[in-house]
Structure formats: structure tokens, C-alpha cells
Amino acid sequence: MTTDATRDWTLEQFPARSHDKLRYADTDRQGHVNNAVFATFIETGRVELIYNPEAPLTSPGTSFVIASLNLQLKAEIHWPGTVDIGTMVTRVGNSSIQLYQSLFQNGVCCATAETTIVCIDENTQRPSPLSESVRANLAPLQP
């Protein structure tokens, strides 16, 4: 499934949700959160999904690497406060997963990201097929 990047998603439409606290150190000279930190917020949502102890996406001897990351900035994020992160799985391949994520502050979508991550064998550093248990854990994360 591909997501319509122009669609107005709300946080509640994402099956996985998390948040980060904004730090003063995240701000730039213009007084808003630096755009480079947006990728860190996206990482928070992605990592919480991958390493969820109740529904892990890694098998022993495997890990995930980013194959692509497309981040679209839509609005400024301001300190102080928090940022909410919504994450969903939009495609499952043989060894890859495509994620769609949005960042929200006070209900306003500030950024979206499409990320493809690939499961790799930690010994060979080559793509590793997703196990059936991982596929089962991905099912509830799809819209």
C-alpha cells in the first residue's frame, strides 16, 4: 500500500504512537526546533516500533538498516512542549518494511516521512527474510 502524502492524517489514525519531549538544545537561531531534530523524532517512532518488547520486529542475529528516508517538513515545531509521533506500516516485502510517519505538535502535522528499512543478517550484512512471527507482529500496524 502507498500512502497519499497529501492526505491530512490525524495522530489517532496511526496504529503506533509515541512522543518526545522538546529540549531547549533542540532549537536553532530562529527560535524553533532545528529541522535536523525532526529526523531524530522520526527515529524515536521507528525504534519504539522495531524494538517493542511485546511485538519485536527483530529475530536473533538480525537488525534493521535504513535504505531510504524521505522527510517532508510542513510546519515549525516550537519549544517548550512535546512532539507526538504516529507510525504505520504501509508495505511489507521479503526483507523490507516501508513506514509512514507523521510528527504533530498540538494536533498540527509538522512533518511526514516515508522510510524503508531492511532486515539484515548481522553476520553477513546481507538482507534477511522477515520471519512469520515478525510478519504477524506487523499486521496490526497496517492501516
- Residue 115 lies inside a defined structural domain of this protein: yes
Q: Above 80 in pLDDT, residue 143? A: yes
Whether residue 78 is contained in a domain is answered as yes
- Specify the number of domains making up the chain: 1
pLDDT tens-place string over residues 43-81: 999 999 999 999 999 989 999 999 999 999 999 999 999
Summarize pLDDT for 93-130 with one digit per residue, the tens: 999 999 999 999 999 999 999 999 999 999 999 999 99
The domain in which residue 112 lies consists of 11-141
Q: Is the pLDDT of residue 5 over 80?
A: no
Any idea of the CA torsion for 97, 1, 94, 128, to the nearest 10 degrees? 0
Give the global pTM.
0.92
CATH of the domain at 123: 3.10.129.10
Three-state secondary-structure class, residue 89: strand
Cβ within 8 Å of residue 17, ≥6 positions away: 11, 84, 85, 86, 87
Query: What is the structure's pLDDT at 87?
Result: 97
Per-residue burial over 61-70, b if 16 or more Cβ lie within 10 Å, else e, is ebbbeeeebe
In contact, 116 and 2? CB cutoff 8 Å: no
